[in-house]
């Protein structure tokens, strides 16, 4: 891509000395030949309380990502639409409702209802798209995800969802360990804390993934769609 390697949201929180230290990680970024979208935890709980600051919605809706979740919705919808046009599979994850007391983090889970972990309607899976139910942070831990990816010969993942510092990070690191090339779509990921979001994207970008802007990912998917139609 023509963009500078550090042209991302963390520019206002990562100092020049740290950028210099991480120079060795600079490389060409790309999307693999046979990608899949991994949509992590786009469930209702993350959107509860509406498009408001997290500190406001958290008083009533523990675990909501507030305005950060809502800001990511339109880019995520665009990502899904482009993936479907290109025939790129979308795999969703959500929390298994009956975990027997097992949780993905140590956070107090707060009040829950029957649809707490249902996928947000505006981002819902299309017929036939896979939903993986998990108990821990990583989408891979104790789930059949790796088997599905291997069966489809997937070589890279376009990762979106929440939270950047939690389940997105854990899933990205595990995917890297399994040998997948990872792309974390910047505008399609979010966290309850903006600074935590930015710092984790910086770290993932340099170690375990290519953080890419949504417009660059969409351009790649549109090209893939045209190529597959010709084929």
Q: Does any domain span residue 1?
A: no
Q: Does any domain span residue 13?
A: no
Q: Does any domain span residue 191?
A: yes
Please indicate whether residue 167 is annotated as part of the active site.
yes
Listed range (91-105, 122-136, 173-187, 200-214) with the worst mean pLDDT = 91-105
Q: Does any domain span residue 45?
A: yes
User: In the structure, what pLDDT confidence band is assigned to residue 111 with cuts at 50, 70 and 90?
Assistant: low
| pLDDT, averaged across the chain | 93
Domain count, the chain: 1
User: In the structure, what pLDDT confidence band is assigned to residue 58 with cuts at 50, 70 and 90?
Assistant: very high
Q: Domain residues for 102?
A: 34-230
Q: Is the pLDDT of residue 117 over 70?
A: yes
Among 65, 160, 167, 188, the active-site one is 167
Is pTM beyond 0.75? Reply is yes
Q: Does any domain span residue 2?
A: no
Q: Does any domain span residue 24?
A: no
Residue 105 exposed, middle or buried by CB count within 10 Å (0-12, 13-18, 19+): middle
Instruction: Give the number of residues written for the chain.
Output: 231
Q: Does any domain span residue 115?
A: yes
Q: CA 105 to CA 10: how far, in whole Å?
A: 25
Q: Is the pLDDT of residue 62 over 80?
A: yes
Residue predicted with more confidence, 200 or 4: 200
CATH, residue 66: 3.40.50.850
Mean of pLDDT values over 115-134 = 97
User: In the structure, what pLDDT confidence band is assigned to residue 102 with cuts at 50, 70 and 90?
Assistant: very low
């Amino acid at each position: 891509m023509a963009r500078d390697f550090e042209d991302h949201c963390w520019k206002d929180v990562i100092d020049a000395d740290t950028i210099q230290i991480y120079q060795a990680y600079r490389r060409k970024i790309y999307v693999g030949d046979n990608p899949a979208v991994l949509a992590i935890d786009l469930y209702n709980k993350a959107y509860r309380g509406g498009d408001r600051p997290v500190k406001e919605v958290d008083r009533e809706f523990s675990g909501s990502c507030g305005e950060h979740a809502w800001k990511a919705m339109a880019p995520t919808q665009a990502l899904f639409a482009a993936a479907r046009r290109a025939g790129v599979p979308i795999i969703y994850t959500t929390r298994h409702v009956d975990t027997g007391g097992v949780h993905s983090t140590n956070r107090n889970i707060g009040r829950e209802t029957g649809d707490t972990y249902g996928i947000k309607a505006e981002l819902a899976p299309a017929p036939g798209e896979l939903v993986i139910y998990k108990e821990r942070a990583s989408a891979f831990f104790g789930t059949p995800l790796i088997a599905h990816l291997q069966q489809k010969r997937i070589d890279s993942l376009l990762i979106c969802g929440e939270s950047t510092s939690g389940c997105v990070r854990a899933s990205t690191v595990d995917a890297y360990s399994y040998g997948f090339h990872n792309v974390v779509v910047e505008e399609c990921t979010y966290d309850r804390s903006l600074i935590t979001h930015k710092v984790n994207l910086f770290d993932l970008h340099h170690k375990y993934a290519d953080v890419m802007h949504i417009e660059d990912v969409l351009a790649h998917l549109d090209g893939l769609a045209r190529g597959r139609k010709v084929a």
